[in-house]
Structure 1
Amino acid sequence: MGKYFGTDGFRGEANKDLTVEHAYKVGRFLGWYYGRQHKCKVVIGKDTRRSSYMFEYALVAGLTASGADAYLLHVTTTPSVSYVVRTEEFDCGIMISASHNPYYDNGIKLINNKGEKMQESVILKVEAYLDGLTEEIPFATGENIGCTVDYAAGRNRYVGYLISLAVHSFKGKRVGLDCANGSSWMIAKNVFDALGAKTYVINNEPNGMNINTNCGSTHIEGLQAFVKENQLDVGFAYDGDADRCLCVDEKGNVISGDLILYICGKYMKDRGELDNNTVVTTVMSNFGLYKAFDKIGIEYEKTAVGDKYVYECMQTNGHKIGGEESGHIIFSKYATTGDGILTSIIMMDVMIAKKMTLSELAMPVVIYPQLLKNVRVKNKPAARNDVDVIAAIEDVEKKLGSTGRILVRESGTEPVIRVMVEAESDDICEKYVDQVIDVLVKKGHVQQA
């Protein structure tokens, strides 16, 4: 991770951490960098935050001032930008979104010409320009100044692509959608309606300040109640830019990213489509998922937290499915990034093909109780590598054996050590988490409040 760009872009509070000047300079650099040998083409999408329009105009000003042409998808999803970039020969793509964050935050996600997260080497060059460590970039003049193109047609092609991927008609299925007042509000219902579903939608009236507010995949309790009240077959909740999806079964229970990985992984294995017989997860996936995989003979890999690392593992090893507990699910046959609407389409196809409800499909997985506590420390490496802390962790691992696990890791963004235990009961989780935290306190690593 760089100074400004983390695993999922440059993110922060609009005009405090991430300013309109940052956006302009990002546009200036990308327009110049990709336009050195030819006329540069960049496609831009945005979510529904009030500040997204401001950042869009700033990026366009920077790009066109450097000679690039800017193609505007307008309000759309992150995976749609990825799709358009990789299928229509753009030099790169930009998505303006802070994903599941509140409305006052925003972000700039950079996507390379393959539809993947931008490579680190280019990110570092962008950051160097932001910090004034490189020579000033010349302005384009005359006929070399870039133009702006209304490119809603690109978003429409993405909608058509999604519809084409469904194997079955959804006719007769009652489906609830929570669009989080975000990017999916103009896309998701159109897709499900076209596939024949009886579609019920909530949180699809964005006003620039209600994105993710008590709705979407991070506040799924609203969809749970909606599914039960309306006796729906299934519900799908997206986040602000619709690159993640969580589900609600017909009983109103949450189907997390781990359960989605199990249901889709098993379905792919049964059909002979699970290349390498492997599903890619992160270290935060639940212990119960791995025990369920073991029972049906599916292998798995564990990466660092972040869909970026999941995708890198998939690409390196040729795996076909991977994701996170939070609902970032990647199907590499169809996409190069997590895609919430695509995930919901595939989940519908599995339900219809197997003639089973979502609760029945998820039943084999027993999710273990989990407790995660964040401890603010003075020095993350010193705390994590302390010999007594390591000894405490090893002691917990020995006592848990095959009945649970402990994970202690440094936060990538805060001065925090995260201590997580999964075990057969909440009491056991509490006991072992506190055992490790007590050692951190006794050794003087914890910041005083």
Structure 2
Amino acid sequence: MGRLFGTDGVRGLANRDVTAELALNLSVAVAHELSARGAYGGRRATAVVGRDPRASGEFLSASVMAGFASAGVDVLDAGVLPTPAIAYLTKRLSAEMGAMLSASHNAMPDNGIKYFASGGHKLADEIEDRISERMGTGWERPVGAAVGRIRPFPQGAEFYIDHLLEAVPARLDGLHVVIDAAHGAASVVGPEVFQRAGATVDAIGSDPDGLNINDGYGSTHLEQLQRAVVARGADLGLALDGDADRCLAVDADGQVVDGDQIMAILAVELHERGRLRDDTLVATVMSNLGLLRAMEQQGIIVVQTGVGDRYVLEKMRAHSYSLGGEQSGHVIMLDHGTTGDGVLTALSVAGAVVSSGKPLSELAAVMQRMPQVLINVKDVDKNAVDTHGGVQAEVQAVEAELGERGRVLLRKSGTEPVVRVMIEADTAERAQHFGDHLAGVVRRHLSL
């Protein structure tokens, strides 16, 4: 059996891979592990639970809450809210744990569970492993008044909106934005917080029905946002994903501004204000070489980690860095949150536009992206990609041919059954050529 937890919680096809039984049993194990980590002055441990709008979240959140309560943990049901809102509420309410039901940017049939420890932090690998070991072990069940209680917590949305408004770097009066909420968890709070910050807001992808999350909208489907920004004459567009922990942007001409460019904009802005701690940005190995080169020119150090915002966060916490993130749009601003927050990122980008007086296109031009190709290779043994001699020999050959004019990265996905082949080169044609070549090598050697 493979590792239960991936790079961002437990994820899979809802009601097949991620079942009510799994959600309940896993939450019991989480309750036991996290409750055992400290005493709470005689009171019971508390958990905050939220979800995105997908239909399966209705029964899965009920199972998670049942698991917590059956283990003697009191539960605050925050309802539909972004992942970073649940992390924030876990910290603000001094809860011992939190849980978010979401498969992020994945299609509606999938779902997942992300857990937070006290302080709103994602679980370290070793804690996840101990939780997995607890699954199915015997335990003494509380009875009577010792069982946990489940209570609705609708005020969580207002708490989160107030938190975001306190973090806005500048009022947004006079700014016209289009918000694409992916029919997801921020469909209400996303447009609402921008309106309260003073912006003129057009919202799209903000009518969730339980089935349409990420369907043609959001950060993985930017076409609707690009068209809307141009058609409505907006200053910029901001796209969230299903659980609103990531954000991508579109400038006034409909050109995409990706997570690397967003990090570059925010790093420079913080650097100029003396707020970029140790003049350091934390990024993953997936970030474009253009980001590294641009930051070097700005006198900003880039520290790289493995793929996954949790690893970015671990590095940031270990060294008290203030900014980090991923090309996909996960951006962590440690002075304001404990995890990637798409709405906070969107507000920060909009604030940079207002405070600088420059259009987003000019701010994004601080870095030039090198041509990059990313190919997902399906139906292969992803666990063998790092050890297969034939694959690694071809990787070394391509690296030698690219030299300093590009780079190669092959890795197994932590959230999907694929191998990701990434190539950067000095031209788009060379990047595509080598990408296609290595994708073929992976298929030939690792096909199931």
| Number of the residue aligned with 2:5 | 5
Superposition deviation, residue 244 in structure 1: 0.4
**Which residue of structure 1 lines up, in the alignment, with residue 221 of structure 2?**
219
Which one of 140, 148, 156 corresponds to residue 146 of structure 1?
148
Deviation at 1:364, TM superposition (A): 3.0
1:429 corresponding residue in structure 2: 431
1:254 corresponds to: 256
RMSD (Å) for aligned C-alpha atoms: 2.3
Equivalence for 2:45: 40
Q: What CA deviation, in whole Å up to 9, does each residue of 1:201-220 have, x standing for no partner? A: 01111110001101011101
Matches within 5 A, 1:48-197: 48-130=53-135, 132=136, 134-135=137-138, 137-197=139-199
Q: Secondary structure at the match of 2:269?
A: helix
Q: Structure 1 residues 373 and 197, CA, compared in 2 at 3 Å: closer, same or farther?
A: closer
1:20 alignment partner AA: A
Q: How many angstroms apart in 2 are the aligned matches of 1:415 and 1:170? A: 42
Q: Aligned partners of 2:144, 2:254: CA distance in 1, in Å?
A: 60
Cα distance in structure 2, aligned partners of 1:35 and 1:406: 43
Report the CA distance shift for 1:208/1:391 in structure 2 as closer, same or farther (over 3 A). Answer: closer
**Are residues 445 and 319 of structure 1, via their aligned partners in 2, closer, same or farther at CA, if it must alter by over 3 Å?**
same
1:18 corresponding residue in structure 2: 18
CA distance in 1, matches of 2:357, 2:52: 36
Q: One-letter code of the match for 2:80?
A: V
Q: Partners in 1 of 2:141 and 2:19 — Cα distance?
A: 21
TM-score, length-scaled by structure 2: 0.92
Shift of 1:86: 1.1
**8 A Cα contact 2:177 2:201, kept in partner:** yes
Paired residue type of 2:27: G
Cα distance change, pair 149–386 in 1 and its aligned pair in 2 (3 A): closer
For residues 415-441 of structure 1, the C-alpha deviation after alignment (integer angstroms, 9 at most, x for no partner) is 754332211222212333355566667
CA displacement at 1:392 relative to structure 2? 3.9
Whether the 8 Å CA contact 1:277–1:299 is kept in 2: the answer is: yes
Report the secondary structure of 1:273's partner residue.
coil
Q: What's 2:209 paired with?
A: 207
Measure the CA separation in 2 of the matches of 1:207 and 1:414.
25
Residue type at the aligned position of 2:64: L
Give 1:398 shift.
Answer: 3.4
Greater shift after overlay, 234-243 or 384-393? 384-393
Match of 1:333 among 332, 335, 344: 335
Question: Hey, what does 1:296 align to over in structure 2?
Answer: 298
What SS class does the counterpart of residue 94 from structure 2 fall into? coil
Q: CA deviation at 1:34?
A: 4.6
Cα deviation digits, residues 57-114 of structure 1 (max 9, x gap): 1122222222221101111011011111112110100111111111111111100002
Judge which range, 53-62 or 226-235, deviates more. Answer: 53-62
Pair 1:396-2:401 in alignment: no
SS in 2 for 1:372: strand
Whole-Å separation in 2 of the counterparts to 1:404 and 1:428: 10
Q: Does 1:269 align with 2:271?
A: yes
Q: How many residues align?
A: 443
| 2:34–2:117 Cα contact (<8 Å) kept | no
Task: Measure, in 1, the Cα distance between the counterparts of 2:379 and 2:148.
Answer: 49
What is the distance in 2 between the residues matched to 1:385 and 1:146?
47
Paired residue for 1:231, among 225, 230, 233? 233
- TM-score, with normalisation over the residues of structure 1? 0.92
**Gaps spanning 5+ residues in structure 2: where?**
none
Cα contact 2:384–2:446 (8 A) shared by 1: no
Are the aligned partners of 2:380 and 2:442 in contact in 1 as well (CA < 8 Å)? no
More divergent stretch after superposition (293-302 vs 208-217): 293-302
Q: CA separation of 1:228/1:379 partners in 2, compared to 1, >3 Å: closer, same or farther?
A: closer
- Residue 273 of structure 2 aligns with an amino acid whose one-letter code is R
Q: Which moved more, 1:83-92 or 1:291-300?
A: 291-300
Aligned to 2:316: 314
Give the C-alpha shift of residue 413 in structure 1. Answer: 5.7
Deviation of residue 380 (structure 1)? 5.5
Counterpart Cα distance in 1 of 2:253 and 2:334: 31
